[in-house]
Amino acid sequence: MQKLLSASEIAQLKLPGLPTSRDNIRARAEREGWYAEDVVGRGGVRRVYQLPEKYLNNAALTIPSTGEARSAQPAPAMLDIEKLQMVETVLDRVLRQKGLALQSDKRGSVVACMYDYAVRGGEVEAIETLLTALVA
């Protein structure tokens, strides 16, 4: 099962072949007929989308390298949907425990940052600790 993301969250991922603004993501989703659901939350109703496989399969995210190779162009990596879902799950759990909600553009930024941390080796417990400290 694939995680549903808001247009802002998708834009924050900066996936190749996709626009990087919320409004343009919405337009693309409408034009291409992406699966979408309306989700009711604290801030009202928001539309979330399922990214088509063609964008996930071609998603080359740049991961900054370390050490001497820093000046070199980082090698692309495939989007790890399991890590993305893990970050979303942990964020949802922390926000629910604290009784908080994030605006979709802020949420997208947090998800992108925590995803980057996860692909660099960050574990679930460390991500949860970081998020808990951020919302404390």
Backbone angles phi, psi at 129, to 5 degrees: -60, -45
Contacts of residue 41, defined as CB under 8 A and 6 or more positions apart, other chains included, come to 101
The band of 36, judged by pLDDT with boundaries at 50, 70 and 90, is very high
> What gap in Å lies between CA 115 and CA 59, rounded to an integer?
14
On whether the CB atoms of residues 102 and 114 are closer than 8 A, the answer is: no
Q: Is the pTM of this model over 0.75?
A: no
Give tens-digit pLDDT for 78-109: 778 888 888 889 998 999 898 888 887 788 88
> What gap in Å lies between CA 129 and CA 7, rounded to an integer?
27
Domains in the chain: boundaries = 5-135
> What gap in Å lies between CA 30 and CA 53, rounded to an integer?
16
pLDDT at 113 over 60: yes
